[in-house]
Amino acid sequence: MKYIRLWTAAAFLILFSFQPVLAVTVTDSAGRRVVIENTPRRVVSLVPSLTEALFVMGAGERVVGVTLHDTWPSEANKKTVVGGFFKPSIDKVLSLHPDLVFVSGIQKEIIEALQGVVPMVQFDPISVETSFDQMRLMGKMMDCEAGAEKIVTDNRRILSDIQKKVKKIPASKRKRVLRLMGRTSLMTPGADSFQQELIEMAGGIGHSVKENGNVISLTDEAFIAFNPDVIYGCGGDKKAAELLFSKTAFQSISAIKNKRIDYYPCELTCRASTHMGYFVSWLAANLYSSEFSVRDDQIYPDAVKSREGIPVSLDYVKKVELTRATLYDFPSKSLVVDFTSPKTVLSTLDGWRENIATVGNDYMPPQCWRLAHEGGFDGMKQDIFKMLGKKAETTSFLFTGADMDNFSIKTVSFKKMSVTVLATAGVCSNAMRMGKDTGDYYEPGTINVMILPNMHLSKRAMSRALISATEGKTAALQDLDVRSTYTPLVNPATGTGTDNILIVEGDGMRLDNAGGHTKMGELIATAVYEAVTEAIFKQNGLTANRSVFRRLKDRKINIAGFIGESTCPCNTTGKETPSEVENLLLDVRYASFVETAMALSDACERGLVTDLSAYKRWCSELAREIAGGPVPEVNFISDTTIPTPLALAINALLTGLEYKK
């Protein structure tokens, strides 16, 4: 009855608010005929692929609730989390007073609970074309038809381009490709899965197992018989791969023997959504990097397609432009700063450079990463300069894998003194803590910072400014609790392994110091802090107040995994997940308890806290509170790598739930 009362109140509010008449009739994946009388204003999306589409087509402001897996695009991280994918909290969904809920057929329990209470639409894309059709329907429902059509058109264009490129590759050179799934056994998408369709669109040869389904089991014999040349998965599949591929019988498999096991973001591998074309192009470029490196086989010439002016008020800056171009048939984006007269710059990538007319920051998309290795980074750099119409001897660039559309520009001033900083930042692939993590290789930068002062810095001041900028960058990472990619349980990151800074000497009044006690040093550090903070949000969706679910994920902790479950929507095998844990953490008290454990864990790792006796009593009290009575001492956490305070906190939650009366 409480659900009906909540919905009645919500319906009353909606009835008396202004709504444009829409009247769209939709037949969803379950065959239900749903009539949308008015444009939905409060939408809860329980399907990450549909959430993504809603934001991209322009309906993101109307999304009020998402699952803990909805972390892309960045704005989704600001929405209320209603639980996990498999069994989100019904109470939490209804507390948001939605006028429409998007669901998946897997979510049987919530579909049954919401039936007749809240309008629902179930979309389960089973193919690329089905996904396109459903996005168009969503566009009609949300009054975003133009945005939805653009998604379809953009993806079709990319897919068409890839088809043209792979068509030139003879059948004898086509690669056998397997999408790895599962956690403890060999699993893969079934014959009718859209994931198999994506492999074929990328020019790969998929398995020939005649069994349908989102996820199917693959016998050792079938795996060996298929003998894939390339295996790929998402991040959660790495441990399974290490376990499975250590088998002696698998060592003759081509992909294992040649170390061709690749990993992509789960948001790409597992979703039939807005980035299908992007993923297919990335997969194809990795499969056929040698063939795609042949310049004569390009389908488009390298060329700038558009230039967008970025306002910067500095006398020595002629113009700043965000250019969008095509390079090697893939999108390339560059932030280009032209000077009115040549300048001296200090770059951590190029060193000291004199007589520089142009500086910039170039986005190398993932499709080009293996191509860069094929042709050499220096060769790619020359190709970029040529495309932009710049001379190498008067140009100094930084290079990044962070999308240039996510750059941040910040200007900080004090009286007549100012500093403008242009930054890009991605911290989810190679963040590290210097002094703790091991350095093994080098690639172009991930956090890139360009510093433009309005006064003339001496070489001494420019050198000292590197420290001020680095400390500002590191402070931003610390305040956001960005974790080391390599040791996330115990180490907050100080940067990524590939950061670069470029400082321009500036013009006007001469300054000989830019250290921490100087006003110029303060402005540099502040501008870098603000720019890096914003750029990290734009690229990775990280905020200081992000959900406890995201912070656990950043530490690579899956609470469900401690009791033998997986919460990844990729592995939709029908096995229920411990929604009790997820729903418990929707309560701010218990979420804060775990967040406290995270902070205490870092303090213990640094040796700042040594006695945990009071904290252990708190954990025991909380376990009894959840259980509603006494509980025995039980240890669910066998992983000794987890810091003690965090292990105690998680164990308290699981113990309380296990013995809940």
pLDDT at 485 over 60: yes
Q: Range with the lowest mean pLDDT among 56-65, 80-89, 115-124, 553-562?
A: 553-562
The pLDDT of residue 330: 95
| Helix, coil or strand: residue 524 | helix
Q: pLDDT tens digits, residue range 419-459?
A: 999 999 999 878 888 876 655 443 444 899 999 999 999 99
Kindly state the DSSP code that residue 41 receives in the 8-state scheme. Answer: S
If pLDDT is split at 50, 70 and 90, which confidence band does 581 have? confident
Residue the block writes with tokens 């965000």:
322
What's the whole-number mean pLDDT along residues 162-185?
A: 90
End-to-end CA distance of the chain: 24
Kindly state the DSSP code that residue 296 receives in the 8-state scheme. Answer: G
Q: What are phi and psi of 193, to 5 degrees?
A: -75, 145
Residue 495 CA to residue 506 CA, distance in Å, equals 26
Largest Cα–Cα distance of the chain, in whole Å? 76
The pLDDT of residue 560: 64
Residue 276 CA to residue 301 CA, distance in Å, equals 24
Q: Among 207, 206, 204, which residue's Cα sits nearest to residue 171?
A: 204
Residue 340 token pair: 């009115």
CA within 13 Å, CB half, 366: 16
pLDDT at 14 over 60: no
pLDDT at 290 over 80: yes
Residue 292 CA to residue 329 CA, distance in Å, equals 9
pLDDT at 15 over 60: no
Angle in degrees, CA 653, 654, 657, rounded to 5: 85
Q: pLDDT tens digits, residue range 401-422?
A: 999 999 999 999 999 999 999 9
Q: pLDDT tens digits, residue range 509-544?
A: 999 999 999 999 999 999 999 999 999 999 999 999
Kindly state the DSSP code that residue 61 receives in the 8-state scheme. Answer: G
If pLDDT is split at 50, 70 and 90, which confidence band does 570 have? low
Contact in structure between 547 and 54 (CB atoms under 8 Å): no
Residue 87 CA to residue 93 CA, distance in Å, equals 11
Kindly state the DSSP code that residue 518 receives in the 8-state scheme. Answer: S
Q: pLDDT tens digits, residue range 19-66?
A: 445 588 889 999 999 898 899 999 999 999 999 999 999 999 999 999
Residue 619 token pair: 């954990």
Evaluate the CA torsion angle 538, 539, 543, 548 in order and state its sign: positive
pLDDT at 148 over 80: yes
Q: Among 196, 224, 229, which residue's Cα sits nearest to residue 210?
A: 196
What angle separates helix 613-627 from helix 588-605, to the nearest 10 degrees?
160
Contact in structure between 189 and 216 (CB atoms under 8 Å): yes
What's the whole-number mean pLDDT along residues 116-141?
A: 93
Please, which residues bridge with residue 245 across strands? none
Residue 529 CA to residue 566 CA, distance in Å, equals 37
pLDDT at 12 over 60: no
Contact in structure between 290 and 260 (CB atoms under 8 Å): no
The pLDDT of residue 587: 94
Element (H, E) at 619: helix 613-627
The pLDDT of residue 578: 56
Residue 460 CA to residue 521 CA, distance in Å, equals 12
Residue the block writes with tokens 């309005």:
454
| Helix, coil or strand: residue 424 | strand
- Cα 298 to the center of its chain, rounded Å: 29
Strand 447-453 and strand 417-425: pairing?
antiparallel
The pLDDT of residue 569: 57
| Number of H-type helices and E-type strands within the chain | 22, 25
The pLDDT of residue 451: 98
What's the whole-number mean pLDDT along residues 538-560?
A: 90
Give CA separation, 350 vs 22, 358, 402, 495, in Å: 57, 13, 19, 19
Angle in degrees, CA 237, 241, 242, rounded to 5: 125
Strand segments (E) across 96-212? 100-103, 120-122, 177-179, 187-188
DSSP labels for 131-146?
Answer: HHHHHHHHHHHTT-HH
| 235-239: Cβ within 8 A, 24+ apart | 235/263, 235/265, 235/266, 236/183, 236/266, 236/566, 236/568, 236/570, 237/180, 237/181, 237/182, 237/183, 237/263, 238/263, 239/183
Length of the chain counted residue by residue: 661
Angle in degrees, CA 482, 486, 488, rounded to 5: 45
Amino acid present at 131: S
Residue 19 token pair: 């709504």
pLDDT at 579 over 90: no
pLDDT at 8 over 70: no
Q: Residues near 613 by Cβ (< 8 Å), separated by ≥ 6?
A: none
Kindly state the DSSP code that residue 316 receives in the 8-state scheme. Answer: T
Q: Among 493, 367, 515, 368, which residue's Cα sits nearest to residue 429?
A: 493
The residue extents of the domains of the chain are 2-153, 169-292, 303-540, 556-658
The pLDDT of residue 102: 97
Residue 226 token pair: 């298929």
Strand 330-347 and strand 351-363: pairing?
antiparallel
Give CA separation, 22 vs 38, 97, 152, 280, 618, in Å: 5, 20, 22, 35, 54
The pLDDT of residue 71: 87
Peptide bond into 331 cis (omega under 30): no
The arrangement of strands across the sheet holding 80-81 comes to 80-81, 63-66, 43-45, 100-103, 120-122
CATH 3.40.50.1980 is held by the domain 169-292: yes
The pLDDT of residue 638: 83
What's the whole-number mean pLDDT along residues 216-236?
A: 90
Contact in structure between 587 and 626 (CB atoms under 8 Å): no
The pLDDT of residue 213: 87
The pLDDT of residue 278: 95
Q: pLDDT tens digits, residue range 332-371?
A: 999 999 999 999 999 999 999 999 999 999 998 899 988 8
CATH number at 2-153: 3.40.50.1980
CATH number at 303-540: 3.60.70
Q: What are phi and psi of 59, to 5 degrees?
A: -105, 15
Residue 89 token pair: 């909290």
Contact in structure between 199 and 232 (CB atoms under 8 Å): no
What angle separates helix 128-141 from helix 48-57, to the nearest 10 degrees?
60
Residue 554's CB is within 10 A of a number of other CB atoms, namely 23
Residue 14 token pair: 């909606």
Q: Do 303-540 and 169-292 have the same topology in CATH? A: no
Average pLDDT along the chain = 89
If pLDDT is split at 50, 70 and 90, which confidence band does 568 have? low
Percent of the chain having pLDDT more than 70? 91
What's the whole-number mean pLDDT along residues 289-316?
A: 95
pLDDT at 565 over 50: no
Residue the block writes with tokens 């991280």:
77
The pLDDT of residue 267: 86
